[in-house]
Amino acid sequence: MSIAPHLPHRSGTPTAPAPGVGFARDLAGWGGRRALVHDGRVVSYADLAGLVAERAERLGPVRRLVLLEMASDVDSVATYLAALAGGHPVVVVDAARPDVVAATRAAYDPDVVARGDALDERRPGTAHDLHPDLAALLSTSGSTGSPRLVRLSAANLQANAESIAAYLPLREDDLAALSLPLHYCYGLSVLHTHLLRGAGVLLSEASVVDPCFWAAAHEHGATSLAGVPHTFELLERVGLDEVAPATLRYLTQAGGAMSPARVRAYAELGQRRGFDLFVMYGQTEATARMAYLPPDLAAARPTAIGVPVPGGRFELAEVPGAPEGTGELVYEGPNVMLGYAEGPGDLGRGRDVHRLRTGDLARRGDDGLWEVVGRLSRIAKVMGLRIDLDRVERALVGDGVRALVASTPPTDGATEQLVVAVEPRADGGATRLLARVCRLVTAATGLPAAAVQVHAVAQLPRLTNGKPDHRSVAALAAPAPTGAAPPAPAQPETVRDVLSGVLGRPVGDDDTFAGLGGDSLTYVETSVRLEEALGHLPADWHLRTVADLEGGAVARTRRGRAVETNVVLRAVAIVAVVGTHANLLTLLGGAHLLLALAGFNLARFALGDVGRRERVRRLVAGAVRVVVPAVLWIGGTALLLGAYPWQTALLVNGFLGPPGWTEPAWHHWFVEALVLLVLGVAALVAVPVLDRTERRWPFWFPVALTLMALLTRYELVPLPDGDVIHRAPVVAWLLTLGWAVARARSTGHRLVVSALAVLTVPGFFADDARSAVVVAGLLVLTWSRQVRLPAAAARLAATLAGASLYIYLTHWQVYPHLEDDYPALATLLSLVVGVLAWRVATRAERLLRGTRRPGRPGPNFPLTRRKSPAHPA
């Protein structure tokens, strides 16, 4: 390609702008099609073209160097496209990093600094010699404020967009859900390819674990999702199969190697769900993309990067000492950068690079697919030994250690060392963990312990694009002698402290409450303590990672505390049960409402995105955690006081006890029904085809179960005579309805469960007021997941909800002595005794588990019962 002579342009010297980038110039041709969606705002191509034209006019006809503080919003995109369309070289930096903005501004002296639609025009023309091919300057993925930038031409940007669009199944009606930052070449490539094809991009600052991200994806019908390996780690926490919209057609993954097991898992999930997984390989130096793995090969060849993108070509360069058949991967194609820039003096240079040496060790398989096997720059020479840092890192991760590995260059006569960053353990074993990591590294590398530094960090450092930050790991190297003891582990953060204290388990930044095995036995205390610590707790906090919760912490700006609605309902119900039995008040319907709450919590905690066997284990464990205290207490009072028959103590009264309501045999009907129904759900999900069906239709599955359970509710299936409404088969529809409420993710879903509640509850009882209580509770739970209470009331509600099982079990032995003369005192003492019993049982459980920190978990499912046919609770 011949380059025309280029003369430097100074302020006030008008010149014709460069042709610009095609996809940025041709926006208007797509007319009224959807171009961008952001924060509920839909911008058409015609509207976007107008914004770009207005911004381009403000930038003027003289080519100038523009520094753009890029954010994921419409104004930033419009300014970026205006620069590309007008031929103004644009330096793209992260708007959220003022240190990087300042460093880049100082290093390159831009003519214009842009943030959103604001342009700070520092001079009317340019102070730089700008090469006519230069279009954009981007940081490499490892840069964090370094003045070194990648110089990309207009032809680079256009060619790579066309190349990617040639192998992706892009359609004009597509919408990419984009959580990747736009200062990152991968995020920009998604924008470029969709604008090239007239498709849309859903811009979001939210993480993929944020319900707002998925709410927008559902609302606007997102068809694709782009992510780096860390994105897919987070998706495992929320369960892509659960949160993804039905419109999803394909996923793309780049930004580093993803584990073969994870590639295979998402490829297989896609086969079941009907979407494709495109694993891709690229570098900023190649504009974005160099290779892709055809989706039909992802499950069979998860270690491969695939084939070159259209227009590209690979070859291997010899690397001394590399295994036979491997070499440095070299790429040629129209998307190869012009070269690097270290400062303003490089902006006038033309092409320096024609063939891109990627720095990756690779080989070509017999099937023609390319595979990256290592990284040249990740090969360290420590004490004369060549150490593959990636291999060491993979070995640690494979051994269950969350770690990153880097090396230090030799300085001042000191030898190069390995530096390992390890996340601290929350179980007090950090010192042992660091020693173990040191032993693993020395065994894997043959290095002496003096050449290995192991540091505990609160969380593994990552760049803003989600990639591991190995530079920060290397910076941990201690100046002390290499044989010195490792530094003390970092103290746990507040969220980690709460979760580890309540659950008694080690907690990492990517862990979630649900993923750690939390259930409704422990969620009450956890939710209240987290809300107190963070100032605000989102409705789906149990699915969010520790890092996301900490990053979203806000100062409390409103009085009181937000408490989950089901916690408040649970507390009110247990007070109503005790108060009704103690003749303090009459509030009926609590037991049946709490059965729906049990289904609500069952869906949230036991039926998460885990394997089928783990689901069954959680359900059975939940039932056991109700059965054990119930049988111990009921059996103990039966033996000591003769209070109950053996059928009640063994929770089989519904089958072997008296058919009609008889005191005290039927006192514990709710516990019995609850345990049987939970075990029934466990039996359902133990069947592979039913488990897969529930995952495929998480809302409609419990709705279908509810409709089936109505056969017994309306006595269309014959049942034995007796106290029918207190038996598990008859009340099953309430548990599955609560399950459906938990799965309701849209207004349509909520209308469905609301209609079921309104249509099926009335007529079940011979008391309209009791029906109204159950219906009202279900509607409140459906439409409002949180309520705000004064701090003292929030703590009281949490305590009563947490202790509800023990209040229910013990109150039978408390209130009868006082109900006739002192009903208020009878109620209060029943609540206090139950709370004390809960504290004792919790402490005993923690001691049995060997947990060092005392906690206060609540019951697995809310419990209450009915006093008699005349005074049911």
Residues 775-786 have pLDDT tens digits of: 999 999 999 878
* pLDDT 10s digits, 263-279: 999 999 999 989 999 99
Task: Identify the structural domains of the chain with CATH numbers, from first to last.
Answer: 22-373 (3.40.50.12780), 383-474 (3.30.300.30), 564-849 (no CATH)
Query: In this model, does residue 557 exceed pLDDT 70?
Result: no
Query: In this model, does residue 14 exceed pLDDT 80?
Result: no
pLDDT attached to residue 691: 87
CA 533/CA 514 separation, integer angstroms? 19
* pLDDT 10s digits, 354-372: 999 998 889 999 999 999 8
pLDDT attached to residue 145: 53
C-beta of residue 150 within 8 angstroms of C-beta of residue 135:
no
Q: Which of 779, 763, 772 is closest to 710 using CA atoms? A: 763
Work out the average pLDDT over 709-715.
Answer: 89
pLDDT attached to residue 476: 85
pLDDT attached to residue 277: 97
pLDDT attached to residue 465: 66
CA 307/CA 226 separation, integer angstroms? 19
Tokens coding 856: 């206060």
What is the percent of the chain where pLDDT is above 90?
42
Tokens coding 275: 């979407």
686 to each of 616, 692, 709, 735, how far by Cα in Å?
Answer: 6, 10, 19, 18
Q: What stretch of H or E contains 649? A: helix 646-649
CA 379/CA 388 separation, integer angstroms? 5
Calculate helix-pair angle for 791-802, 823-849, nearest 10 degrees. 70
Q: Does 197 or 587 have the greater pLDDT score?
A: 197
Q: Does 349 or 515 have the greater pLDDT score?
A: 349
* DSSP structure string for 348-378: T-----SSEEEEEEEEE-TTS-EEEEEEGGG
Categorize the per-residue pLDDT at 287 as very low, low, confident or very high, splitting at 50, 70 and 90: very high
Categorize the per-residue pLDDT at 801 as very low, low, confident or very high, splitting at 50, 70 and 90: confident
Rounded to the nearest angstrom, the gap between the alpha carbon of residue 52 and the centroid of all alpha carbons in its chain is 34
* pLDDT 10s digits, 472-512: 888 888 653 433 333 333 333 467 767 766 765 667 666 77
Query: In this model, does residue 411 exceed pLDDT 80?
Result: no
Residues contacting 26, CB < 8 A, separation 6+: none
pLDDT attached to residue 380: 73
Categorize the per-residue pLDDT at 588 as very low, low, confident or very high, splitting at 50, 70 and 90: confident
Query: In this model, does residue 668 exceed pLDDT 90?
Result: no
Query: In this model, does residue 867 exceed pLDDT 70?
Result: no
pLDDT attached to residue 12: 38
pLDDT attached to residue 793: 87
Query: In this model, does residue 722 exceed pLDDT 80?
Result: no
Query: In this model, does residue 170 exceed pLDDT 60?
Result: yes
pLDDT attached to residue 478: 63
Categorize the per-residue pLDDT at 11 as very low, low, confident or very high, splitting at 50, 70 and 90: very low
CA 811/CA 101 separation, integer angstroms? 64
Categorize the per-residue pLDDT at 849 as very low, low, confident or very high, splitting at 50, 70 and 90: low
Query: In this model, does residue 540 exceed pLDDT 80?
Result: no
pLDDT attached to residue 515: 66
* pLDDT 10s digits, 299-352: 999 999 999 999 999 999 998 878 889 999 999 999 999 999 999 999 999 999
Lowest mean pLDDT among 40-49, 155-164, 202-211, 605-614: 605-614
Work out the average pLDDT over 106-113.
Answer: 95
Query: In this model, does residue 553 exceed pLDDT 70?
Result: no
Categorize the per-residue pLDDT at 383 as very low, low, confident or very high, splitting at 50, 70 and 90: low
pLDDT attached to residue 854: 33
Q: Does 766 or 67 have the greater pLDDT score?
A: 67
pLDDT attached to residue 416: 67
Tokens coding 117: 């639609």
* pLDDT 10s digits, 217-252: 999 999 999 998 888 988 987 889 889 999 999 999
Work out the average pLDDT over 797-803.
Answer: 87
Categorize the per-residue pLDDT at 439 as very low, low, confident or very high, splitting at 50, 70 and 90: confident
Tokens coding 455: 């540091």
Work out the average pLDDT over 49-53.
Answer: 96
Q: How many CA atoms lie within 13 A of 163 on its CB side?
A: 27
Q: Does 749 or 555 have the greater pLDDT score?
A: 749
CA 343/CA 145 separation, integer angstroms? 13
* pLDDT 10s digits, 679-689: 999 999 999 99
Q: Does 455 or 485 have the greater pLDDT score?
A: 455
What average pLDDT is seen over the chain?
83
Tokens coding 866: 């009915």
Query: In this model, does residue 169 exceed pLDDT 50?
Result: yes
Q: Does 514 or 830 have the greater pLDDT score?
A: 830
Amino acid at 826: A
